[in-house]
């Protein structure tokens, strides 16, 4: 079977081939962005749980009562006496075992838009388990990546 192609059909074939390649690379690029958005968004849903993965499990006796919030805040303020002002406290619950205490505007990250000091406190012993600034842990970096991609 011998098919003779004239110049017009060759031109159309090249043009179509070119646009198929352009379409492919645009789709792969945009698809990659959506995959990253999906994966980082899935991590953000479980942000608190993922942050607690590497920490020791909270142990308490059967009838033990957690420390009062005043005792927890005294421990935190004793560890950070230079930090004056308001603190926020997130109580444990919904799969989160630690009390989360945040200082919203630390001097170390004053030049950043949002980078509070985040402290995890074991609720039964009142001991500080972990401290970090927002954006200095893997999970907060994933959160930042997700929000940066959404913002463009």
The pLDDT value recorded for residue 74 is: 95
Q: What is the pLDDT of residues 1-19, one digit of tens each?
A: 445 555 678 888 888 999 9
125/140 Cα distance (integer angstroms): 26
H or E stretch including 103? strand 99-103
| Helical (H) or strand (E) element with 96 | none
Q: What local confidence, expressed as pLDDT, does residue 119 receive?
A: 94
CB contact set of 146 (below 8 Å; sequence gap of 6+): 37, 40, 41, 43, 44
What confidence tens digit (pLDDT) does each residue in 88-97 have? Answer: 999 887 656 8
| pLDDT (0 to 100) of residue 61 | 72
User: Per-10-residue mean pLDDT for the chain, 152 residues long?
Assistant: 61 89 95 93 88 78 84 95 92 77 92 91 90 90 89 76
């Amino acid at each position: 079977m011998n098919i003779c192609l004239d110049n017009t059909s060759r031109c159309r074939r090249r043009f179509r081939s070119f646009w198929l390649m352009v379409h492919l690379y645009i789709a792969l690029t945009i698809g990659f962005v959506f995959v990253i958005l999906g994966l980082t968004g899935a991590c953000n849903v479980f942000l608190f749980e993922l942050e607690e993965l590497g920490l020791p499990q909270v142990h308490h006796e059967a009838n033990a009562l957690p420390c009062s919030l005043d005792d927890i805040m005294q421990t935190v303020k004793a560890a950070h006496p230079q930090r004056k002002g308001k603190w926020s406290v997130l109580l444990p619950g919904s799969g989160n075992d630690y009390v989360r205490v945040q200082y919203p505007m630390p001097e170390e990250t004053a030049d950043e838009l949002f980078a509070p000091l985040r402290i995890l406190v074991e609720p039964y012993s009142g001991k500080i388990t972990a401290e970090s600034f927002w954006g200095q842990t893997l999970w907060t970096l994933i959160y930042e990546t997700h929000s940066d991609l959404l913002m463009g």
